[in-house]
């Protein structure tokens, strides 16, 4: 049974804002882009330095504690999967059922990564990811009535 998610009128307007014309965008203060050039660049630089530091630190920590290097790689791929795919469904994380579904899928994605790379090769992983994502989007559509990001 699809999950009925109720969004406020403002959220629905923002979701449909991509289809508005530039003239409508100019008249709407909600859709105006902030004009904070230097602070935004500074924040982007700080975030990139943080990511690089965390990435190097995770491999250094794994090496010091004699942990197989597949685990930091798995953690970073899972974080990328969460950020990339989860961003499209960020409004749905208010639902405990969808959050549970997404976390279960994250574990499944990690298992596919480890098993395919452990027993096969990168080529098979590249072939397995589109199939895995198709199953994810189809499951989200069937279970929760959500459309894939390109069709929203």
- Find the mean pLDDT for residues 119-125: 82
Rounded percentage of the chain residues whose pLDDT exceeds 70 = 75
Q: Which residue has the higher pLDDT, 124 or 4?
A: 124
Task: Tell me: pLDDT of 144 over 70.
Answer: yes
Residue 46: the pLDDT is 92
- Find the mean pLDDT for residues 16-36: 58
Measured CA to CA, the distance from residue 128 to residue 82 in angstroms comes to: 17
Per-residue pLDDT tens for 38-88?
A: 888 888 899 899 989 988 998 898 889 888 887 888 788 778 877 887 787
Among 146, 134, 83, 82, residue whose Cα is nearest residue 110? 82
23: burial class by Cβ within 10 Å (0-12, 13-18, 19+)? exposed
Question: Do 72 and 113 meet the contact criterion of CB atoms below 8 Å apart?
Answer: no
């Amino acid at each position: 049974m699809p999950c009925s998610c109720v969004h406020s009128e403002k959220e629905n307007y923002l979701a449909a804002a991509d289809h508005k014309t530039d003239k409508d965008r100019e008249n709407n203060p909600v859709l105006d882009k902030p004009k904070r050039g230097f602070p935004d660049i500074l924040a982007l630089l700080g975030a990139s330095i943080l990511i690089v530091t965390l990435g190097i630190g995770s491999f250094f920590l794994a090496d010091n504690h004699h942990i197989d290097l597949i685990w930091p790689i798995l953690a970073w791929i899972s974080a990328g999967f969460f950020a990339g795919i989860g961003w499209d469904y960020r409004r749905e994380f208010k639902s405990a059922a969808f959050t549970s579904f997404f976390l279960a899928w994250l574990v499944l994605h990690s298992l596919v990564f480890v098993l395919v790379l452990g027993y096969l090769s990168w080529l098979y992983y590249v072939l397995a990811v589109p199939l895995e994502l198709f199953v994810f989007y189809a499951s989200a559509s069937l279970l929760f009535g959500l459309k894939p990001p390109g069709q929203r």
